[in-house]
Amino acid sequence: MAERNRIGVLGDLHSNLSALEATLGLLGAEGVGEILCVGDVVGYGPRPNEVCAILRERNIQAVAGNHDWALLGKLALDYFNPYAREALEWTRGQISRENRDWLESLPLRLDTEEWCLFHGCLPRPEDFDYLQSIPAAEKAFEDFNAPIGFFGHTHLPMTFLRAAEEEALKWHFEPDWTLLRGDRALVNVGSPGQPRDENPLAPALVYSPDSGRVQLLRAPYPIAREQALIRKAGLPTVLGDRLQHGI
């Protein structure tokens, strides 16, 4: 039997078109069919419309993140630090009607038999809590049925693993591992748009439902180009500076 399509999952894109293009190139070379995005499509970066347009054209299934919701006025701007707020205000002035409508159409979670997709945390994705502890992961596992759930929000790639054979949850940072039958995982796919794991390369996750293999690949991209566009747009320069350090 031929292997079913492998699935690509992208994290917080944050209007970074160069990083998005690099990760899509990587996923294309891997022969990935379906692509998912855990949200925070916009915010921070200089090309919100271009990033939205690619996701729409390629039929990438996405959920809404907190920056997407704030752009739409569904979340108060005082939730954000001053740089994020300034970038969101700038983005509000840039975003096209079509892209705004598309962002408005994004759900907070998507569930299939094979996977679950959300931005921050379950069971209340609209709270945008950070999923970064064992107790939070315990609760999140109870709120979906698929073997694997993908999320983002912290911009730190990592995995919570609920092994069928073991009582206690574990977490790990492995970039290439296999989900065994009966085991379940919650996988933070990292952020191409603004990595914060001290690795400036843009991450892209590949999941193979048949074999259970989970790979976090990293793509180089022209960081200087995004930094120049951030300066040109008048966005806070710190948003460009941090890209080259992955912080």
User: CA-CA distance, 3 to 31, in Å (whole number)?
Assistant: 11
In the complex, the smallest distance separating the C-beta of residue 65 from Zn ion, rounded to whole angstroms, is 6
SS3 of 68-132: the string is HHHHCCCCCHHHCCHHHHHHHHHHHHHCCHHHHHHHHCCCCEEECCCEEEECCCCCCHHHCCCCC
Give 164's contacts (C-beta < 8 A, 6+ positions apart).
Answer: 180, 182, 183
Nearer to Zn ion, 34 or 40 (CB): 40
Q: What are phi and psi of 94, to 5 degrees?
A: -105, -35
Radius of gyration of the chain (CA): 17
Nearer to Zn ion, 19 or 179 (CB): 19
110: which 2 tokens? 């998507």
158: which 2 tokens? 């990592």
Nearer to Zn ion, 80 or 177 (CB): 80
Nearer to Zn ion, 21 or 40 (CB): 40
Write the CA distances from 245 to 54, 83, 85, 210, 229, integer angstroms. 26, 17, 22, 36, 17
User: Which parts of this chain interact with Zn ion (CB under 5 A)?
Assistant: 12, 40
In the complex, the smallest distance separating the C-beta of residue 80 from Zn ion, rounded to whole angstroms, is 10
In the complex, the smallest distance separating the C-beta of residue 128 from Zn ion, rounded to whole angstroms, is 10
In the complex, the smallest distance separating the C-beta of residue 14 from Zn ion, rounded to whole angstroms, is 6
For residue 33, count other CB atoms closer than 10 A to its CB: 10
In the complex, the smallest distance separating the C-beta of residue 88 from Zn ion, rounded to whole angstroms, is 12
Nearer to Zn ion, 12 or 34 (CB): 12
In the complex, the smallest distance separating the C-beta of residue 43 from Zn ion, rounded to whole angstroms, is 7
In the complex, the smallest distance separating the C-beta of residue 19 from Zn ion, rounded to whole angstroms, is 13
Nearer to Zn ion, 51 or 161 (CB): 51
Nearer to Zn ion, 56 or 196 (CB): 196
User: CA-CA distance, 102 to 59, in Å (whole number)?
Assistant: 11
3-state secondary structure of 54: helix
